[in-house]
């Protein structure tokens, strides 16, 4: 059984609150001993990536809800040893846009959505109100996660236990339910994700050849993923969009690459992935 490993969703310097800390009044108000994950000060609208290998998205929360006070989040199941069990719920919250799809499996650095300030968030020690968000305020934007909650796969449920739910009932996969271990630990069963975090999020894929219109390969898919993750979307929906990257370098890839080159002052910005652009990405 592989050990649970989570890549950093952003630079470690962007951590704003650790696990089980009490930076605001909401934890005591909600009956918690403290924060249930790690918070990262990521700007509003920036891509939020999946941090675990082979993460199955089993639920999304409030994807299309118009109320900004409703917590938008992506929930995944990961089969890896967390020290308590062989399965973990790994989730990501306060998202603005959710692109993850239920039933799809995601790999590290795959995009799940964009950063936001949905749900209960604070800025400068003060809760950001609904009226402010509706007027366009981006205050309090951050990522809550990856939040880790160990679970057991069980065949039957009992009335005294807590289980994962997928929005329509108790989650059931291949005949198994998922029982939350130690739900009453003060963080609703969550554990500190810090021991599982590894700082390789900034290490982009290693590109070894020139890429251009018409060429195909896994490195083309890696390039599309990289562009999507950096905010230079190959496509907003469908082919080339986050989670639907392809191995073919077409005009959508070229246009996204041109935007990246202009932003990085790479001239001429022709959308040709040559030595200059390749070296910049490889050496980030």
Instruction: Tell whether 50 is covered by a domain.
Output: yes
What is the pLDDT, as a whole number, of residue 269? 94
- Dist. CA 258–CA 218, nearest whole Å: 20
Token pair listed for 149: 């909650």
Confidence of residue 167 (pLDDT cuts 50, 70, 90): confident
Residue 210 lies in a domain: no
What is the mean predicted confidence (pLDDT) over 42-71?
Answer: 95
How far is the C-alpha of 237 from the C-alpha of 254, rounded, in Å? 17
The answer to the question of residue 212 being in a domain is no
pLDDT value at 89 more than 80 = yes
Is residue 193 domain-shared with residue 241, that is, in the same domain? Answer: no
50 and 150 both lie in a single domain: yes
Give me the domain span that covers residue 154: 6-198
203 lies in some domain: no
Q: State the pLDDT at residue 284.
A: 59
Residues 103 and 226 occupy one common structural domain: no
133 Cβ contact list (under 8 Å, min separation 6): 68, 69, 117, 118
**Residue 148 class from Cβ within 10 Å (0-12 exposed, 13-18 middle, 19+ buried)?**
buried
Does residue 204 form part of some domain?
no
pTM: 0.73
Q: Is 273 found in the same domain as 169? A: no
Task: From 67, 108, 271, select the one nearest 202 (Cα to Cα).
Answer: 108
Q: 52-56, 73-77, 195-199, 251-255: which has the minimum mean pLDDT?
A: 195-199
Same domain, 126 and 234: no
- Nearest residue to 139 (alpha-carbon basis) of 282, 71, 41, 14: 41
| CATH number where 168 lies | 2.70.70.10
Q: Which run of H or E residues covers position 218?
A: helix 218-229
Of 198, 228, 256, the residue that ends a domain is 198
d(CA 62, CA 29): 22
Looking at 153, 169, 198, which one is the last position of a domain? Answer: 198
| pLDDT score recorded for residue 203 | 47
Q: Are residues 128 and 224 in the same domain?
A: no
What pLDDT is stored for residue 283 in this prediction?
67
pLDDT digits (tens, 9 = 90+) for 191-218: 999 999 987 654 455 688 999 999 999 8
**What would the pLDDT profile of 125-141 be if each residue is shown by its tens digit?**
899 999 999 999 999 99
**In this structure, are 81 and 182 located in the same domain?**
yes
Q: Is the dihedral of CA 155, 160, 166, 170 positive or negative?
A: positive
How many structural domains are present in the chain? 2
Residue 145 φ/ψ region, left for φ over 0, alpha for ψ in the -120 to 50 degree band, beta for the rest = left
């Amino acid at each position: 059984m592989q050990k649970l490993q989570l890549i950093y969703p952003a630079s470690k310097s962007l951590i704003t609150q650790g696990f089980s800390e009490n930076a605001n009044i909401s934890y005591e108000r909600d009956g918690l001993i403290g924060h249930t994950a790690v918070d990262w000060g990521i700007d509003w609208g920036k891509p939020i990536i999946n941090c675990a290998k082979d993460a199955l998205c089993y639920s999304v929360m409030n994807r299309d809800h118009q109320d900004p006070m409703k917590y938008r989040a992506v929930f995944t199941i990961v089969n890896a040893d967390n020290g308590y069990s062989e399965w973990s719920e790994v989730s990501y919250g306060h998202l603005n846009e959710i692109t993850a799809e239920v039933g799809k499996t995601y790999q590290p650095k795959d995009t799940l959505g964009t950063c936001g300030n949905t749900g209960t968030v604070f800025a400068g020690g003060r809760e950001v109100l609904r009226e402010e968000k509706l007027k366009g305020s981006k205050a309090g934007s951050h990522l809550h996660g990856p939040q880790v909650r160990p679970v057991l796969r069980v065949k039957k449920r009992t009335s005294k236990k807590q289980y994962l739910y997928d929005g329509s009932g108790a989650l059931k996969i291949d005949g198994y339910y998922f029982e939350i271990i130690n739900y009453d630990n003060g963080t609703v069963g969550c554990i500190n994700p810090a021991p599982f975090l590894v700082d390789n999020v900034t290490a982009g894929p290693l590109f070894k050849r020139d890429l251009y219109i018409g060429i195909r390969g896994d490195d083309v898919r890696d390039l599309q993923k990289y562009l999507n993750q950096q905010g230079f979307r190959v496509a907003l929906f469908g082919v080339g969009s986050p989670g639907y990257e392809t191995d073919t370098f077409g005009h959508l890839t070229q246009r996204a690459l041109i935007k990246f080159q202009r932003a990085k002052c790479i001239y001429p910005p022709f959308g040709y992935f040559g030595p200059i652009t390749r070296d910049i990405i490889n050496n980030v």
